[in-house]
């Protein structure tokens, strides 16, 4: 375990005026509080907080952040209290520790709706003091470095969460080195074969062409020296995950990938940076489309650099980044530069941009707008995790967008009103379709028209969360009356299934249970497929729902071919019905999963014939107890769904639940769970529904879900 003097000496190298006593007291306090705890590796638990503190000291952070790192788990894992921490180390440090604890407890990999609400809380917590996030990122980095001691399923869960949330978050904050390490550590867990394959290819490449990095560095150094440009040059191989991602995105093999090697030229001033660029392009051929000037158009997190890819020694394509020393400091530590120290004083850097302005804008959005959780999460993730392009308005203002954005995204980025009334666009003076993908440096002009409203098809065109959220909100407003009417029909069907009526009082009670404003909100969400009928029943009559599901799943239909002690387990992947040819697959214990002979799941058991059991249905069975799903594609006209429900009812079948799987302006596709006796009964229902003039297609839904217990 790292001792206190080593940690203090590390901090003293960049902050000779640090509060040694405060750091030492925090070290001893944490050591005592965690004394009886051990990590899964068997090490003393306190080794973890110390390592987190060392990671943050490497970013030259202030004393409060170092102390928070040492104590970040005390509130959660020991008997320490907020009051005690405030008295011993001050309120500010206690609040930072409390903030880290709250972030730890957010469970970011939980179900989507909960995840979205937790993400709101995460951003609000970060907007108060971003050092909370810095400590949390340091905590996650050390946990990923030691992840091999976790259970395999826990490793996968943490690695996915790291890849989806924490690595992109580190990148957005400008801490690119941390993003790359987090991605690579997660990649090692999620796809070890791909990672090892890329490493082997690197080794083979070195054997074939020797190590190119020193040779190219020598070439660049000679070039700059001959042009009287003072600069330092470094080179490296790209991280395995970065290489793999580019191979996947570009659908290229390793040998054809252009930027396997990366080189960095660090100059003393901006003038020399552009002179270095000119010298490089005079010496080697630049690759078209691979030049970016983030000095003249910086990223929102303050990142400034020139990127270019050239054809260098022996035709090898290499990426070169050129920037000044001050720019490099921001590029290396990102947001941490706000709390960095140099020679005992807070370091000042003219290129540092406060990312709190971005977080604060999201916090204001949380307070002022009533977006759905999923819309908000989508907005935040898209804003955080995407590479960016910079486009210009006709007046020369710069609009920053995620890569792949369209003119509609551009319009909504300017103002919601402009986006909503958009009817056309011009890019660099030429009229282009609204689905055109914008590129860096293009000038975009948006054409609007009074009375225009967002179209449903725009959802599939735009990629920014802001645009998607605004379009969905407008569509909900436009279709609110229709959704409420449709929602009432869905509520009636769902509640009649358990013998109840969809009265306004019952719906108002459901609204309270579901945290909605009133019964109209319940109907609106039902009609727009944001709330399922089964969720409505569960909110009002959970016991009746359980009884109903039991009756559906425990089919009274008998099969021949089972042994005396074997029992049937339903297979939702194919929903077999009496009258179909069926086969059983033995599962754990004495269970047998029944499948239609045409079920795709059976392919997975072709080499396990000892588990196959020949089954047949008993004859004469006629109870309506088998649940199947049909998918109906129907015109988006008033009354169509009501007619379909009546047609199903006329065929002596009960509707269990229904939800939209696809919704367009002219047609809906809706999945309806119904109860049928056998195959013949199902075919009669499909025929009756398909005969309706406003129905385009009716199919039985064969869900390809593996339900067997291997």
Measured CA to CA, the distance from residue 488 to residue 466 in angstroms comes to 30
Asked whether the beta carbons of 131 and 388 are under 8 A apart, the reply is: no
The residues, ordered by sequence, that sit 6+ positions from 166 with a Cβ below 8 Å of its Cβ are 136, 137, 140, 182
The DSSP symbol for 107 reads -
Phi-psi region of 246 (alpha: psi -120 to 50; beta: other; left: phi over 0): alpha
Q: Which of 77, 184, 372, 496 is catalytic?
A: 77
Q: φ, ψ for residue 19 (rounded to 5)?
A: -85, 85
The DSSP symbol for 163 reads I
556 CB burial (10 A radius; 0-12, 13-18, 19+): exposed
According to DSSP, the residues that pair with 582 across neighbouring strands are 596, 615
Asked whether the beta carbons of 643 and 584 are under 8 A apart, the reply is: no
For 284, other C-beta atoms within 10 Å of its C-beta total: 21
SS3 179: helix
SS3 16: coil
Q: Which of 20, 76, 84, 372 is catalytic?
A: 76
Asked whether the beta carbons of 264 and 176 are under 8 A apart, the reply is: no
Of 402, 633, 702, 672, nearest in space to 534 by CA: 672
According to DSSP, the residues that pair with 634 across neighbouring strands are 668, 695
End-to-end CA distance of the chain: 43
Measured CA to CA, the distance from residue 625 to residue 617 in angstroms comes to 14
Asked whether the beta carbons of 66 and 89 are under 8 A apart, the reply is: no
Q: Is 77 assigned a catalytic role? A: yes
Q: Is 62 assigned a catalytic role? A: no
Angle between helices 480-496 and 519-527 (to 10 degrees): 90
Identify the H or E element spanning 630: strand 626-635
Q: Measured at the alpha carbon of residue 388, what is the angle toward residues 386 and 389, in degrees to the nearest 5?
A: 150
The DSSP symbol for 683 reads H
Asked whether the beta carbons of 56 and 134 are under 8 A apart, the reply is: yes
SS3 672: strand
SS3 622: coil
Give the catalytic positions in this structure: 76-77
């Amino acid at each position: 375990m790292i001792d206190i003097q080593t940690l203090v000496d590390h901090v003293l190298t960049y902050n000779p005026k640090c509060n040694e006593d405060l750091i030492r007291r925090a070290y001893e306090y944490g050591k005592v509080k965690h004394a009886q705890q051990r990590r899964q590796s068997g090490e003393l638990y306190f080794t973890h907080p110390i390592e987190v503190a060392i990671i943050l000291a490497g970013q030259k952070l202030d004393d409060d952040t170092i102390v928070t790192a040492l104590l970040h788990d005390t509130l959660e894992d020991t008997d320490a209290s907020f009051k005690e921490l405030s008295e011993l180390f001050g309120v500010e440090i206690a609040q930072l520790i409390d903030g880290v604890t709250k972030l730890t407890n957010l469970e970011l990999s939980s179900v989507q709706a909960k995840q979205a609400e937790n993400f709101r809380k995460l951003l609000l917590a970060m907007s108060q003091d971003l050092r909370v996030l810095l400590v949390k990122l340091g905590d996650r980095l050390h946990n990923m470095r030691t992840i091999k001691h976790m259970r395999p399923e826990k490793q996968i869960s943490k690695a996915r969460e790291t890849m989806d949330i924490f690595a992109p978050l580190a990148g957005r904050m400008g801490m690119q080195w941390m993003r790359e390490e987090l991605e690579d550590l997660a990649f090692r867990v999620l796809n070890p074969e791909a990672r090892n394959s890329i490493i082997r290819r690197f080794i083979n490449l070195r054997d074939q062409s020797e190590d190119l990095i020193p040779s190219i560095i020598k070439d660049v150094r000679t070039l700059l020296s001959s042009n009287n440009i003072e600069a330092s040059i470094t080179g490296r191989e790209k991280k395995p995950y970065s290489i793999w991602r580019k191979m996947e995105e570009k659908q290229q093999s390793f040998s054809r990938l252009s930027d396997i090697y990366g080189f960095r030229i660090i100059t003393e001033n901006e003038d020399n940076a552009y002179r270095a660029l000119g010298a490089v392009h005079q010496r080697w051929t630049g690759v078209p489309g691979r030049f970016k000037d983030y000095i003249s158009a910086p990223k929102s997190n303050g990142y400034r650099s020139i990127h270019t890819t050239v054809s260098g020694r022996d035709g090898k394509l290499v990426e070169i980044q050129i920037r000044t020393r001050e720019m490099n400091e921001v590029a290396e530590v990102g947001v941490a530069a706000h709390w960095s120290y140099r020679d005992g004083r807070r370091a000042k850097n003219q290129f540092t941009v406060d990312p709190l302005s971005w977080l604060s804008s999201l916090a204001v959005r949380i307070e002022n707008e009533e977006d759905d959780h999923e819309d908000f999460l989508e907005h935040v993730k898209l804003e955080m995790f995407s590479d960016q392009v910079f486009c210009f308005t006709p007046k020369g203002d710069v609009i920053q967008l995620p890569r792949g954005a369209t003119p509609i995204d551009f319009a909504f980025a300017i103002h919601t009103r402009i986006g909503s009334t958009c009817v056309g666009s011009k890019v660099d003076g030429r009229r282009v379709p609204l689905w055109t993908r914008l590129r860096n440096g293009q000038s975009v002009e948006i054409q609007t028209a009074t009375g225009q409203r967002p179209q449903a098809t725009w959802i599939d065109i735009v990629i920014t969360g802001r645009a998607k959220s605004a379009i969905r909100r407008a569509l909900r407003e436009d279709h609110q009356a229709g959704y409420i009417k449709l929602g009432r029909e869905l509520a009636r069907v769902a509640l009649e299934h358990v013998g109840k009526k969809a009265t306004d009082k019952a719906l108002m009670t459901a609204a309270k249970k579901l945290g909605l404003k009133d019964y109209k909100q319940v109907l609106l969400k039902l009609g727009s497929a944001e709330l399922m009928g089964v969720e409505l029943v569960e909110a009002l009559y959970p016991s009746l729902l359980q009884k109903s599901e039991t009756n559906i799943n425990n089919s009274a239909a008998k099969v021949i071919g089972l042994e005396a002690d074997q029992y049937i387990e339903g297979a939702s992947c194919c929903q077999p019905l009496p009258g179909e040819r069926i086969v059983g697959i033995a599962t754990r214990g004495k269970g047998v999963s029944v499948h239609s002979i045409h079920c795709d799941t059976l392919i997975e058991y072709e080499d396990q014939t000892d588990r196959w059991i020949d089954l047949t249905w008993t004859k004469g069975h006629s109870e309506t107890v088998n649940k199947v799903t049909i998918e109906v594609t129907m015109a988006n006209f008033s009354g169509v769904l009501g007619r379909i429900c009546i047609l199903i009812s006329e065929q002596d079948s009960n509707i269990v639940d229904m939800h939209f799987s696809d919704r367009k302006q002219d047609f809906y596709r809706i999945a309806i769970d119904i109860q049928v006796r056998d195959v013949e009964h199902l075919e009669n229902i499909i025929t009756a529904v398909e005969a309706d003039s406003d129905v385009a297609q009716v199919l039985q839904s064969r869900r390809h879900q593996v339900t067997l217990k291997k």
